[in-house]
C-alpha cells in the first residue's frame, strides 16, 4: 500500500481516460457561458474529439496494464474493452445528438458535459476493482443519465421519464449499497480480489449465508441497471419518454458498463459460490427474454418496442452470464459490442424519422418509409435483421456465441428456450420491415428532410460495424476471449 498521496505518473496514465473526460466535460460546461449562440456546433465537435482521445488513452493505458491507486482500479484487457466500447458508443450518440438538439432548439454545452461525465463514470465502472469505487462510478453514470432523460425540460414525456428513472434508480442503488455493507460485514474488505481469496480459503471462516444474502442484494441493483426481469419495469417508460438520442445512449452505454460490473463481480467475488447463483441467474435470464420479447409483440410505439427489445437482449446477455465461464464472459462482451452498433443505428433512424418534437414515433408513421426515404428504410432493415440475428450480421454471431457458451456449460434448456425466444423476436422485427415496405404511407406525413451529416456518419459507421462483425467476428471475439480470463 502506498503511503504517499501523490499518484505516480503510471497511475495517472492508467486513470487518464476518466481524467480527460472529466476535464473536457467541465470545460464544455464553462465554455457554454462565453460562447456565441451561433458557434455551438463546436461543442459537439469537442465532445467527439474528447471521446476519440479517451479511446486512444485507453489503448495507451492498456499497453502498461496493471492496478492503480492502491488496487482500487485495475487496467486489464477486460476494462480496456469496455472503456473503448462505451467511448465509441458515446461518439455515435454525440453524432446523432448534435442535429437532434439543434432541431429541438436546445443545443447547449450541458448536454455534452453530462454525456462525457456519464461516460467517465462508465469507464470507471469498467475498470474499478473495488466495491466502493464501482458504486461511485455507477452513481456518476446514473445521475448524469437521470438528468439526460429529462433534458428537454418543457416536454412532459421527458419529465415523466426522468422522474421515474430517478426514483426507481435511486431505490435500486440503495439495495446495491446495502449489499456492499453486508459483504463488508461478512468479509471485512471491499476489494473484489480480496473477498474472492477469503471465500476460497476455508480457514478464513467467511459465513457463506451472509455472503449469499449480500449477493442477492447486489443482484437487485445490478439487475435494475441492466434492465433484467423482474426489475425491468422502468425501461419502456424511460426509453419512450426520453429524447431519442438519449434513449439510444441509455440502451447501450450504461447497460454495457453495468454488465461489465456484473461480470466482474460475478466472475471474481461470487465464482466460489457460483452454484448458488446459477438457478437465480437462470430464472432471471429466461424471465427477461420472455417478458421482453412477448411484451414487444403488442407495441405500437417504435421507441417503446425498441425498449422491450433492449430488455430481451439483456436477457440473452444474462444467458451468457449464467454459463459462468470464460467463454460466456467473452460471448457477453462480443454481444454487447454488436448490440451497441445495431441498437444505436436503429435509434439513429428513429431520431431522424421522428421529426421535430418527436411527433412521428408510432409504428404507423413508418408505413411506406421505403418510398419516402429508401435509404433510411434499407438501413433500418439491416439493423433490424441484425437484432433478429440473421447470418452475415453482427447479431447472428452474438447469439451464436452466447448459445454455444450456454451449451458448453450444460445449460441445454436455457439455450433451447433462448433460441425459441429469438424466433418470437423475429416476428416483431420483421413486422417493422413489412410496415416499411408493404404498407401505404399514411396521409399528411410531412416530407422527410435529408439526413444531417451527423446522422449519416453514425448510420454509416454502425452499419459498417454490423457487417464487419457479421463477416469477421474474430476481430472483436479474439480480443474478448483473450481478456476474459484476466478477470480473476
Partner 1 sequence: MDVVLFLVFAAIAVGCALNLVLQTHPISSALSLIGVMGSLAVLYLLLGGEFLAAVQLIVYAGAIMVLFVFVIMLLNAGSEKRPSKKVLRTAVALPLLFTLAGVAAYIMATQVPRTEAVRFGGFTAGPYEVGRALFTTWLLPFEVTSILILIAILGAVVLARKEI
Which residue's CB is nearer to partner 1, number 25 or number 337? 25
One-character DSSP codes across 175-186: HHHHHHHHHHHH
Interface with partner 1 in residues 93-112 (CB under 8 A): 105-106, 108, 110-111
258 is an interface residue for partner 1 by CB under 8 A: no
113 vs 281, beta carbon nearer partner 1: 113
- Out of 57, 140, 242, 263, name the contact with partner 1 by CB under 8 A: 140
CB of 27 within 8 A of CB of 40? no
**Judged by CB under 8 A, which stretch of 42-50, 128-136, 193-201, 282-290 contacts partner 1?**
128-136
Please state the closest distance from residue 252 (CB atom) to partner 1, in A: 19
Does 2 help bind partner 1 (rule: CB under 8 A)? Answer: yes
Site track for partner 1 across 178-217, x = CB under 8 A: -------x---------------------x-xx--x----
Q: Does residue 242 belong to the site contacting partner 1 (CB under 8 A)?
A: no
Residues 313-342 that bind partner 1 (CB under 8 A): none
With CB under 8 A as the contact rule, the residue among 8, 49, 64, 153 that binds partner 1 is 153
Q: Is the peptide bond before 68 cis (omega within 30 degrees of 0)?
A: no
Query: 25 or 469, CB closer to partner 1?
Result: 25
Q: Mark residues 448-477: x for contact with partner 1 by CB under 8 A, - for none.
A: ------------------------------
Q: What is the CA radius of gyration of the chain?
A: 22
Q: Is 120 in the site for partner 1 (CB under 8 A)?
A: yes
Q: Which residue stretches of 4-76 are H helix?
A: 9-14, 16-34, 41-63
Distances (CA, A) of 268 to 175, 262, 264, 484: 20, 10, 6, 11
| Interface mask toward partner 1 for 42-81; x: CB under 8 A | ---------------------------xx-xx--------
275, with CB counted inside 10 A (0-12, 13-18, 19+), is exposed
Please compute, for residue 226, the number of CA atoms within 13 A of its CA located in the half-sphere on the CB side: 29
Q: How many residues bind partner 1, per CB under 8 A?
A: 45
Question: Taking CA 329 as the corner, what is the angle to CA 67 and CA 281, rounded to the nearest 5 degrees?
Answer: 115
3, 33, 34, 275: residue in contact with partner 1 (rule CB under 8 A): 3
Other C-beta atoms closer than 10 Å to the C-beta of 280 total: 15
Name the residue nearer to partner 1 (CB basis): 14 or 313.
14
**C-alpha dihedral sign at 55, 14, 12, 196:** positive
Strand partners, 191: 130
**Does 151 participate in binding partner 1 (rule CB under 8 A)?**
yes
Nearest-angstrom CA–CA distance, 80 and 322: 23
- Between 105 and 444, whose beta carbon lies closer to partner 1? 105
Rounded to an integer, what distance in angstroms lies between the CA atom of residue 49 and that of residue 286? 40
Residue among 51, 86, 114, 238 that touches partner 1 (CB under 8 A): 114
The CA-based angle 177-135-276, given to 5 degrees, is 60
List 62, 88, 143, 286, residue binding partner 1 (CB under 8 A): 143
Which residues are bridge partners to 66 per DSSP?
75
Q: How far is the CB of 112 from partner 1 (least distance, A)?
A: 11
Cell of 385: 435483421
Question: Residues 17-36: x/- map of binding to partner 1 (CB under 8 A)?
Answer: -x---x---x--x-------
* Minimum gap (Å) between residue 164 Cβ and partner 1: 15
Nearer to partner 1, 8 or 300 (CB): 8
Torsion of CA 20, 256, 126, 146, to 10 degrees: 60
Tell whether residue 137 is a contact of partner 1 (CB under 8 A).
Answer: yes
DSSP bridge partners of 68 = 73
Q: Does 39 bind partner 1 (CB under 8 A)?
A: no
Q: State the Cα–Cα distance between residues 3 and 28, nearest whole angstrom.
A: 35
**DSSP state, 306?**
H
3-class DSSP state of 223: helix
CA angle, corner 270, sides to 264 and 273, nearest 5?
155
- Among 17, 77, 90, 150, the residue binding partner 1 under the rule CB under 8 A is 150
Residue 107 vs 326, nearer CB to partner 1: 107
Query: Applying CB under 8 A, which residues contact partner 1?
Result: 1-5, 7, 15, 18, 22, 26, 29, 69-70, 72-73, 105-106, 108, 110-111, 113-114, 117, 120-121, 124, 132-133, 136-137, 139-140, 143-144, 146-147, 150-151, 153, 162, 185, 207, 209-210, 213
Amino acid at each position: 500500500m502506498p503511503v504517499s498521496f501523490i499518484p505516480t505518473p503510471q497511475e495517472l496514465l492508467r486513470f487518464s481516460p476518466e481524467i480527460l473526460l472529466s476535464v473536457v466535460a467541465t470545460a464544455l460546461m464553462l465554455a457554454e457561458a462565453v460562447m456565441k449562440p451561433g458557434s455551438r456546433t463546436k461543442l459537439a465537435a469537442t465532445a467527439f474529439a474528447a471521446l476519440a482521445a479517451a479511446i486512444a488513452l485507453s489503448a495507451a493505458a492498456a499497453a502498461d496494464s496493471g492496478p492503480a491507486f492502491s488496487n482500487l482500479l485495475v487496467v486489464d484487457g477486460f476494462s480496456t474493452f469496455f472503456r473503448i466500447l462505451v467511448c465509441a458508443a458515446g461518439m455515435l450518440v454525440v453524432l446523432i445528438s448534435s442535429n437532434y438538439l439543434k432541431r429541438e432548439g436546445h443545443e447547449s454545452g450541458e448536454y455534452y458535459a453530462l454525456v462525457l461525465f456519464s461516460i467517465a463514470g462508465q469507464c470507471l465502472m469498467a475498470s474499478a476493482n473495488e466495491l466502493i469505487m464501482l458504486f461511485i462510478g455507477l452513481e456518476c453514470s446514473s445521475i448524469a443519465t437521470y438528468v439526460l432523460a429529462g433534458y428537454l425540460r418543457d416536454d412532459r414525456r421527458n419529465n415523466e421519464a426522468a422522474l421515474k428513472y430517478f426514483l426507481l434508480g435511486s431505490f435500486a442503488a440503495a439495495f446495491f449499497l446495502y449489499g456492499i455493507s453486508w459483504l463488508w460485514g461478512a468479509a471485512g474488505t471491499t476489494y473484489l480480489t480480496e473477498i474472492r481469496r477469503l471465500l476460497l480459503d476455508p480457514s478464513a471462516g467467511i459465513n457463506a449465508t451472509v455472503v449469499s444474502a449480500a449477493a442477492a442484494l447486489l443482484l437487485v441493483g445490478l439487475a435494475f441497471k441492466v434492465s433484467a426481469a423482474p426489475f425491468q419495469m422502468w425501461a419502456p417508460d424511460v426509453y419512450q419518454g426520453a429524447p431519442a438520442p438519449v434513449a439510444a445512449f441509455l440502451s447501450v452505454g450504461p447497460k454495457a458498463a453495468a454488465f461489465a460490473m456484473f461480470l466482474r463481480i460475478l466472475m471474481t467475488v461470487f465464482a466460489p459460490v457460483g452454484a448458488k447463483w446459477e438457478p437465480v441467474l437462470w430464472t432471471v435470464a429466461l424471465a427477461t427474454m420472455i417478458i421482453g420479447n412477448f411484451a414487444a409483440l403488442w407495441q405500437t410505439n417504435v421507441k417503446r418496442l425498441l425498449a422491450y427489445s433492449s430488455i430481451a437482449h439483456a436477457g440473452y446477455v444474462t444467458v451468457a452470464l449464467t454459463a459462468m465461464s470464460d467463454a460466456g464472459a467473452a460471448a457477453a462482451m462480443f454481444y454487447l459490442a454488436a448490440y451497441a452498433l445495431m441498437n444505436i443505428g436503429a435509434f439513429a433512424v428513429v431520431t431522424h424519422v421522428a421529426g421535430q418534437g418527436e411527433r412521428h414515433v408510432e409504428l404507423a408513421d413508418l408505413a411506406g418509409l421505403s418510398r419516402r426515404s429508401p435509404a433510411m428504410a434499407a438501413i433500418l432493415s439491416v439493423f433490424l435483421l441484425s437484432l433478429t440475428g440473421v447470418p452475415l450480421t453482427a447479431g447472428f454471431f452474438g447469439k451464436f456465441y452466447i448459445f454455444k457458451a450456454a451449451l458448453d456449460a450444460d445449460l441445454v434448456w436455457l439455450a433451447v428456450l433462448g433460441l425459441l425466444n429469438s424466433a418470437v423476436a423475429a416476428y416483431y422485427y420483421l413486422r417493422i420491415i413489412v410496415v416499411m415496405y408493404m404498407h401505404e404511407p399514411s396521409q399528411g406525413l410531412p416530407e422527410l428532410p435529408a439526413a444531417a451529416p451527423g446522422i449519416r456518419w453514425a448510420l454509416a459507421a454502425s452499419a459498417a460495424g454490423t457487417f464487419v462483425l457479421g463477416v469477421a467476428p474474430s476481430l472483436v471475439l479474439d480480443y474478448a476471449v483473450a481478456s476474459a480470463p484476466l478477470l480473476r
